[in-house]
Structure 1
Amino acid sequence: MLSKLLTPLLLTSFSLTPVHASLTIAANLAVIEYTPMKIALEDFYPTPPNITIINGGVPNLFSANTTTLTDLASNAETQALRSYPSHRNLRTIYTISEVAYRLVTSSPSSLHPRLESLKGKRIGTIPATSAGYFVEALLDNAGVSPSSYTVVSGAHCLAAPCANDTLPAMLASGRVDAVALWEPTVELAARALRAANNNGTGVVFFQDEGVYREIYSLYSTAETLADPVKRGEVVRFVGALDRAVRVFEGEMERVVGRVARAVVPAVEEGLLRDVWGVHGWKGGLPADLLDVLVREDAYVARVEGRERLTRRELEALVDRSVLREVRGEDGEEEEEEER
């Protein structure tokens, strides 16, 4: 009789044990934007995390593109647009940071040049990236067509002294006339330019969030989100990430030292403080995300040599369901009201 009573009790206890899936996340460990994910795991994840962050990006979600297949990945929206035509199961589930990129160039101390002055100049960036699109969008908005300047490719830099093939070194030596990229490369380029000219030449930044902002997001696949166990872990992680992003927005001092060390290689803390404000730590999913994707796909399609995607085709790329689970059923409406 006792054994008959114990059996259902044991089964009931077993069924109530939460099931946690392991997750692997691909992120570019050399960018500041990924770091809220690391802080989320350290400070806010509800269980001992069975989650690994590796160096990579959106291509890691698809086995044909990489040897390391992951469940989640982070990248700027440009890389998502490059992958989506071949992988219609790609889903954007959470925006970690919105970054108002900057372009830096030199200026005589008595003058403040306009963007039109970059006609005929050499602009250092990394083509076919969010920075490449930023250059084109910023200059096009000023009436400067791509045919009237030259794009020169260079490498990013995280700490001075920057190597000879990096954009800061190229600007300081005069091999390019302007630099545009994600931070802290642009800030280091400005510092290198000042040092090269003994502070005799002014430095000017161009920045227009209304023309372009990087939308650095977390991505998954339709298959991962359809798996109940995997989805549960994704929702738990995004919940922790949402809390971490709020700390980045309002409590920089709590995390700035760890963030500086989390970037690979590490960023000097003073440099990180100087560029912290360039990053918008808003979280959620922007209300205008689909509009941004439609507009930017014109650039990506031309670079990739393909047809533009329609708005209807791009709609499936944005999945707000995980965010609604994290924030509640009315999470989408709240997000739109916040913006």
Structure 2
Amino acid sequence: MSRLTQFLLLPNATALTIAAVSSIIEATPLVVTLQDHYEPNPYTYINSLPVVGSIPNVDLYAGSEVHVLDDAPAHPDLRILSTVVEFAYQIVADKRKGILQPSDLRGKRIGVVGNVTSEYFGYRFLREVVGLNSSEYTFVRNGALCYALPCGNGTYPAMLASGEVDALTVFEPTTTVGGMAIGDENAIYFRNDTLYRKLNVLYTTKDRLENATSRAEIVGFLRALGKTQEMFTKEPEKAWPRVANITATGSTVNVATEEVMRRFWPLTKWGRGLPADMADLMAEEDKWVAMRDPRGRTPMSRETIQGLVDDGPLREALALDAQA
């Protein structure tokens, strides 16, 4: 039986249950960790990111910070423990459309994945870097991801190549592949890591941290994850074939090639820890999340968001690593 099966529950054992979508690049370190560094421990791996509380036995979730912002108002007991990766967004635009600087994005059609971090970065960049309001550009949200050329009709890179969109900013490596689709001579990239970068985080609940058994398991997993993050950082060539294999499982997109990974890898930071500006980034983002929440709510304060962060387990993991 594959270890990447949904609900692999071992009887008479304490199982650490992890939920993440392994078809996205950001979650691949979790799968590698479970394969390489967590062998002695039984676990459950759920290849999806369920709404908090919908599956009661989940111990750890891994997803972008926007999922925490979505769930935290109803689940204030959530606690962010560490980053899995910080992932910078970039916009790729077609120079043949007269786009040579950010201000040239005025009036253009820009491909985004709607209502998530992709659209949020585009919204922030166009508003704060270019100075545009939403009536001065058009977001196109109906494309599909593609991780390697050739990309079929209806994918974001194909839409950029055909002129259906003038630029795009979507989940990597699709943006990178979009630039490859129009050729390096025609592609221009814009980014702003200070304004926003996607924080793929590992999070749990307060109750699980207060339980000695589950806390110990979580600290153990953080230690194991650190080994994978070190490999992803220092020996990326070893990570790339693993990433390609994991993201290909159950995915409808092309398998990312080594060339594609070499191109977008500088956008990633696989370090352990909690960024000093995490609460600031999330508080600003929550204004947008709350504005788009169909249930209607006010944004959470920075203090409330800071209260969702608990660095205790990571400090314990780092202390144990130092003693080893």
TM-score range, shorter chain: 0.7 to 0.9
For the 8 Å contact 1:61–1:69, the answer to whether it is kept is no
Which amino acid in the other structure matches residue 233 of structure 2? E
Superposition map of 1:255-334 within 5 A: 255-264=239-248, 265=251, 266-304=255-293, 305-328=296-319
Partner deviation per Cα, 1:69-99 (whole Å, 9 max, x = no partner): 5221111111211111111111111101111
Deviation of residue 186 (structure 1)? 0.5
Partner of 1:8: none
For the 8 Å contact 1:71–1:220, the answer to whether it is kept is yes
Deviation of residue 112 (structure 1)? 6.2
Deviation of residue 297 (structure 1)? 1.0
Partner of 1:24: 17
Q: Higher Cα Rg: structure 1 or 2?
A: 1
Deviation of residue 220 (structure 1)? 0.9
Which amino acid in the other structure matches residue 165 of structure 1? G
Helix, strand or coil for the counterpart of 1:138?
helix
Partner of 2:62: 74
- More deviation, 180-189/262-271: 262-271
Superposition map of 1:141-290 within 5 A: 141-142=128-129, 143-153=131-141, 154-194=143-183, 202-264=186-248, 265=251, 266-290=255-279
Q: Which runs of 5+ in 1 are unaligned?
A: 1-18, 332-339
Partner deviation per Cα, 1:97-153 (whole Å, 9 max, x = no partner): 1111111110049x7612111111111111221111110111122212222111110
Partner of 2:91: 103
Residues 1:134 and 2:121 are matched in the alignment: yes
CA–CA distance in structure 2, aligned partners of residues 107 and 235 of structure 1: 48
Deviation of residue 227 (structure 1)? 1.9
Helix, strand or coil for the counterpart of 1:263?
helix
For the 8 Å contact 2:18–2:45, the answer to whether it is kept is yes
Partner of 2:43: 51
Deviation of residue 216 (structure 1)? 0.8
Partner deviation per Cα, 1:225-258 (whole Å, 9 max, x = no partner): 2222111111101111012111211121332221
CA–CA distance in structure 1, aligned partners of residues 52 and 209 of structure 2: 12
Q: 1:91 aligns with which of 72, 76, 79?
A: 79
CA–CA distance in structure 2, aligned partners of residues 131 and 101 of structure 1: 8
- More deviation, 282-291/320-329: 320-329
CA–CA distance in structure 1, aligned partners of residues 301 and 51 of structure 2: 25
Helix, strand or coil for the counterpart of 1:98?
strand
Deviation of residue 268 (structure 1)? 2.1
CA–CA distance in structure 1, aligned partners of residues 51 and 220 of structure 2: 21
Instruction: Give the percent of matched residue pairs that are identical in Structure 1 and Structure 2.
Output: 36
Q: Which runs of 5+ in 2 are unaligned?
A: 1-11
Partner of 2:26: 33
- TM-score for the superposition, normalised by structure 1: 0.82
Which amino acid in the other structure matches residue 309 of structure 2? V
Helix, strand or coil for the counterpart of 2:233?
helix
For the 8 Å contact 2:99–2:105, the answer to whether it is kept is no
CA–CA distance in structure 2, aligned partners of residues 133 and 69 of structure 1: 31
CA–CA distance in structure 1, aligned partners of residues 159 and 174 of structure 2: 12
